[in-house]
Structure 1
């Protein structure tokens, strides 16, 4: 994977679902087509991620993004109507990235509930490791959690991911109907986030045990929820 800049069709679908349900997206003034414009566009996003890691999104200023990216304030406004639009683009890319991580692991349909748990663990571990490998992840995590509109878009992406995972695992849990399976998958995905956050700020020597324990709690909750 190429980090948070990675794009997947799944994430784009989730984004469209949110927009169609009445949560309008901050529209970009212009998406660049030429190489130089694309380089500036990406520099703005990279600089914003870097500033968010250090300062969060509340104190984010266009002037700071300009200084960090080397793109003038006027140049930034050529692409984005506001700092909120920049943050939204980053959050949407993050959701796309998560979708790609999940569905890269989901290459087959498990044959039974035990196989599902192995698959679930593989997804969780890939999800955790990708965040631990990307220094911008924690800042984006916290930014999404602090902005209601971004959190809503992220939750919609998780719902879409749960629906797609259910397509591959439907029938493994005969006591649940599809709605119940989707509900449990969705909750497991949402509950995994604070576990990853805890691992990201824990001493490196403690991370593996923390993630193993967290996964055991997660899968137990998945079985018993509802």
Structure 2
């Protein structure tokens, strides 16, 4: 009896259909890329971007340098991909925070709605600060950060203008810039601590920002500010 035709156009029970193979290869490749980017984030945080090497990233990922080079030609390409993904998450975090920044919220709730997701993002993605603020970072990454940064400042200015319609544009920009500078300084302290100390620094940051913004935006008593200390007899 002649053997059945097992041409490439006919899948056998033991052989997946040809169209299924690229899907599996693509999924495997995405997993490998995610593994390499996670390793790169760890190495960048440990050594800084400049001192990091592709060999160190491959070692952290548990693969050979040759495997790494199948996906990325050099460290800069890794940084671009990691930066793009972090920037996308950062933009989503900004969107969540600023969408909640409605002008009818009391100032304490406004600070919670804006600051909590931004603090959480930076805590969960420590490589973001390394890539956005470290020396010798590829210019495209820092340019993208500057764009998002400017968008955040613009939104803060809009919120302030909504509360203070008669305020000049220069003063509104000044209040927004100062608010963001205070946030960045407080964020550095928050990320340098863990557990209860971190929560305490979050409360302190909100208290500082409340006391600065309340004369402009709030209708609450400073005694109700987050972290305010109330003396008892």
For the aligned pair, the TM-score class normalised by the smaller chain equals 0.5 to 0.7
In the alignment, structure 2 segments of 5+ residues that lack a partner are 1-24, 217-233
Residues 61-100 of structure 1 show CA distances to partners (whole Å, capped at 9, x for unaligned) of 1011112224443343343332122123323322322221
Larger proportion of helix: 1
Task: Select which of 177, 187, 191 maps to 1:196.
Answer: 187
Alignment of 1:185-224 (within 5 A): 185=176, 187-221=178-212
Aligned-partner Cα distance in 2 for 1:107–1:39: 32
Cα distance, 1:214–1:167 mapped onto 2, change above 3 Å: closer
Residues 192-222 of structure 1 show CA distances to partners (whole Å, capped at 9, x for unaligned) of 2332221122252222221222223234455
In the alignment, structure 1 segments of 5+ residues that lack a partner are 1-32
Confirm or deny: 8 A CA contact 1:116 1:169 kept in the other structure: no
Aligned-partner Cα distance in 2 for 1:219–1:213: 10
Aligned-partner Cα distance in 1 for 2:73–2:178: 34
Cα distance, 1:189–1:205 mapped onto 2, change above 3 Å: same
SS in 2 for 1:110: coil
Task: Select which of 55, 68, 72 maps to 2:60.
Answer: 68
Aligned Cα RMSD in Å? 3.2
Residues 172-205 of structure 1 show CA distances to partners (whole Å, capped at 9, x for unaligned) of 2213356754564455335423322211222522
SS in 1 for 2:29: helix
2:133 matched to which residue of 1?
145
Cα distance, 1:108–1:213 mapped onto 2, change above 3 Å: closer
Aligned-partner Cα distance in 1 for 2:39–2:92: 23
Aligned-partner Cα distance in 2 for 1:93–1:188: 27
Cα distance, 1:130–1:187 mapped onto 2, change above 3 Å: same
How many residue pairs are counted as aligned between the two chains? 189
Structure number with higher relative contact order (C-alpha < 8 Å, ≥ 6 residues apart): 1
